[in-house]
Amino acid sequence: MLPKEVTIIEVGPRDGLQNEKNFVETSHKISFIRSLKEAGVKEMELTSFVSPKWVPQMQDAESIAGSCLDEHRNFVLTPNEKGLNKALSSGCRDIAFFVGVSDSFNKHNINKTTAESLKAVLPLVERAKNSNGFVRACISTSFYCPYEGKISADRVIALSKEFVTAGADELSVADTIGMASPAESAILFSKLKDAFPDTMIAGHFHDTRGMALANIFAALQSGVNRFDTSAGGLGGCPFAPGASGNAATEDAVNMLESMGISTGINLELVLKAVENIQPALARNINSRMFTLHQQETIV
């Protein structure tokens, strides 16, 4: 049975913009975030407290947090203790941590194995929880790794269990390079729902092979009712060669609403937000609904 409602976690301002070649001005980011909130988005990744040396796009994290925090869930990514300190001092309480299932991916990403990453991150999860925070654990390379190939479900469940035991409120399970099939999504999410019935679980799909929406549908059938999407389909992964952007928010909202599943998000306002951010980007927006929107505007 499909759910009657689905929660969209908008990741465009963080995951979507972090790989933009040109720096997007802080004022444009704030306007983008506020426009998406006006469209009805209640949960969003705002920014990332990382070193500007490694992710220059996120150098304005404190300004973004200072301008965009509200009563809804506003996630910020914190890769280490220094990032968590800055996030907490900026008033952030919804914290995201990430670890890849694949050792090779972690080594390329942060020069640590999965076990080494966990050793550093799990104490931070506890600290964030002690600060009355909401913690989401982003589980990268849950299906395939660009260096190791297919990842077994057992490895995903084992890593997820570490976070759940540490107190994480949610698991965001990612098809980081967009190689998962709907059948694989159905199997993994069914196993995760069985293993962690009291933990929120979100699906995070990339559209490398054009199957993000199909994977969302498969996860829906497995009982998942939370999904990460990115307005405009923005995103990618600097450590995953060939990975395209995330599932587009406007495409996911259109599909879900057409199925009678409520998202609480106004599609037209999302398209307007994408239209407004596009001039600040170094890439074209080619999500299905935005392409249609542009064609209708021209006509």
DSSP bridge pairs for 94: 75, 134
What gap in Å lies between CA 4 and CA 265, rounded to an integer? 14
Contact assessment for residue 236 and residue 55, using Cβ atoms and an 8 Å cutoff: no
What gap in Å lies between CA 262 and CA 245, rounded to an integer? 24
Determine whether 237 is an active site residue.
yes
What gap in Å lies between CA 203 and CA 172, rounded to an integer? 6
Q: Which of 154, 224, 159, 210 is nearest to 180 (CA)?
A: 210
Q: How many CB atoms lie within 10 A of CB 149?
A: 10
Chain centroid to Cα 145, Å, comes to: 17
Catalytic residue among 92, 138, 145, 237: 237
Joined tokens for residue 256: 């879900």
Residue whose structure tokens are 């306007």: 31
What gap in Å lies between CA 51 and CA 92, rounded to an integer? 17
- Please give the helix or strand (H or E) that residue 8 lies within, else none: strand 7-10
Phi-psi label, residue 242: left if phi above 0, alpha if psi -120 to 50, beta otherwise: left
What gap in Å lies between CA 277 and CA 2, rounded to an integer? 33
Q: φ, ψ for residue 156 (rounded to 5)?
A: -65, -45
Catalytic residues, which ones?
A: 237
